[in-house]
Amino acid sequence: MTISQEPLPARFSPAWLLLVATLVLIAFYYLTRADTIGVSGPGRGWFALTRPPLQPSLHFLSAAVLLGLIPLLAAWKITGLGARGLGLGLGNWRAGLVVLAVGIPLAILAGWIASRSPDMRAVYPLDPSLTAEPMVFLKSAAIQFLYFGAWEILFRGVLLFGLLGLMGSFGAICTQTAVSVTAHFGRAINETFSALPAGLVFGWVTLRLQSIWYIAVLHWLVAMSMDWFILTT
């Protein structure tokens, strides 16, 4: 499979993108969570390792900046790639619509399956005040798209397309998948395990479509479906 890139020379080694991803993920994980990660052991009690949780809306807005805006600006500076070169255009939109037509029912099914897991119910919804009242839920879903859009910008945009010239398709897909799996540490184990095949498939589809947005919609829909089923079942 041959993937075309914008014919702009890299200004720095694209490997710097991995350092950028590491730094923003550290900040996101420890400083801007909507929940708390900590440790507990015999004779030690409970000790929180992350900063006090943010309001969910601030958590999602922080994601938009840390996982989306900062990596995007860094990738432009490092690689010289513009928005389209990083997968932020519509890409092959006809194939993208086919992917959405097939993927939307599967995303809803995946959300339902995830909602049956006690581990997932212990974590989600991230907003403990969320209800199934339609307008409340739709408002939360709209805000959460900031998070999932930013997530896809970092992993399937900046890392996947940014590392493509350095590593080739297979290397870039595997690298963004590995980093995205580690970014799930602290979540339910079944979610972390599922991030491995999902990352590989999402990366492959994104390269084929030359756009992150179709996978962003499906990723978001899995999460919103899961939240809805948790709240209503």
- The pLDDT tens digits for 181-231 are 999 998 999 999 999 999 999 999 999 999 999 999 999 999 999 999 999
* Average pLDDT over the chain, rounded to an integer: 93
Supply the pLDDT for residue 44: 84
Supply the pLDDT for residue 114: 96
Supply the pLDDT for residue 9: 55
- The pLDDT tens digits for 101-135 are 999 999 999 999 999 999 999 999 999 999 999 99
Would the pLDDT of 54 be above 70? yes
Q: How far from 224 is each of 13, 51, 187, 229, CA to CA, in Å? A: 37, 26, 17, 9
Q: How far from 20 is each of 14, 29, 162, 196, 208, CA to CA, in Å? A: 10, 14, 12, 21, 25
Give yes or no for a contact between 47 and 38, defined as CB atoms under 8 angstroms apart. Answer: yes
Supply the pLDDT for residue 130: 95
Mean pLDDT over residues 162-178, rounded? 96
- Look at 5-9, 36-40, 71-75 and tell me which has the smallest mean pLDDT: 5-9
How far apart are the C-alpha atoms of 63 and 106, rounded to whole Å?
26
From the list 232, 1, 222, the residue with the least C-alpha distance to 114 is: 222
Total-model pTM = 0.91
Supply the pLDDT for residue 6: 47
Supply the pLDDT for residue 4: 45
- The pLDDT tens digits for 63-103 are 999 999 999 999 999 999 999 999 999 999 999 999 999 99
Give the ranges where 116-188 is alpha helix by DSSP (H).
Answer: 118-123, 134-152, 160-162, 164-182
Q: Strands of the chain (E only): list them.
A: 38-41, 45-48
How far apart are the C-alpha atoms of 34 and 55, rounded to whole Å?
6
Supply the pLDDT for residue 10: 58
From the list 206, 214, 150, 208, the residue with the least C-alpha distance to 183 is: 150
Mean pLDDT over residues 50-62, rounded? 95
Would the pLDDT of 1 be above 70? no
